[in-house]
Chains A and B, each alone.
Chain A
């Protein structure tokens, strides 16, 4: 099959280019894109990409495969290859450090903004702050986010305003803490989000939902944040 890989090494290359590599898949098996990348790296050791757990938990190998963001380690070739061709690009919208490796500083800066930790100034109980099973269930579909950035880099609003719009991933996490009964900073959290950019740059096109490798729904979480803001202000 033919693999077309985005290559860019700023120390050597004047501009990014696509490198076409023909490769035979051993035994005609349906391997993961990450395995394919390893085969490519065996051929050309200069190819750069991030990886770690290889099982969809660490979120390191987010990339754009035939036009759709996803995790290379849990995406089988059969799911993305069309006409025996695969185009691999870095996640769109963020600066490229090298080849498929992107600089995620802006993504993390937005994550940091939403204060991704429990805030509770009341004295801590002897053992732990308890929740009922129902209260705990509110966090399902939120806490599973692995911060791979597939969603935020699929979002045009994040492409145009990565410094102002929190992005789907950050907002999913923002709601994760807004929905947590152990958190006491709900008012402050909401006040920080009530500007024309942080939340309201989301126009609900749901690219984030379409690409999330963990099957999460940031658009729904954003809708819930909007409702909380609305309830507080009316």
Chain B
């Protein structure tokens, strides 16, 4: 068995499963938003704001943000382990990816709860 300390969940199956589940969440969110926009063609700012004032919508959006972050991490981890053979540089890029992902998550939370 190949061991790796930087992967998302240590187990290949866990990472694979997590990536599929998060993809389903992102698909559901996309379908919902696109559907909502299509069903409300005359939507104005107040209606859009009201949608995101709703706690359920905020929780759904937060779930999307976490799913997106996990999905991106697993995917980019694969890319970095494929294309950056130098361990030092690879860990640096992975750390950078992790930091940027974390910043985006924190920022997204602020946006969702700041509407």
- Interface residues, chain A, with chain B CB atoms under 8 Å away: 156-157, 160-161, 164, 191-201, 203, 226, 229-230, 233
Contact = CB atoms under 8 A, between A and B. Distances in A.
Interface of B: 1-4, 7, 10-13, 15-17, 78, 81-83, 85
Nearest to B82: A160
B15 A160 contact: no
Contacts of B17: 230
Contacts of A157: 82
What are the 4 tightest A-B residue pairs by CB atom distance, in nearest-first order? A200-B12, A160-B82, A196-B12, A196-B7
Nearest to B8: A196
B9 to A, nearest CB: 8
B83 A200 contact: no
B81 to A, nearest CB: 7
B15 A193 contact: no
Given A157-B82, A196-B7, A164 B2 contact: yes
Contacts of A230: 13, 17
A199 B1 contact: no
B1 A198 contact: yes
Contacts of B12: 193-200
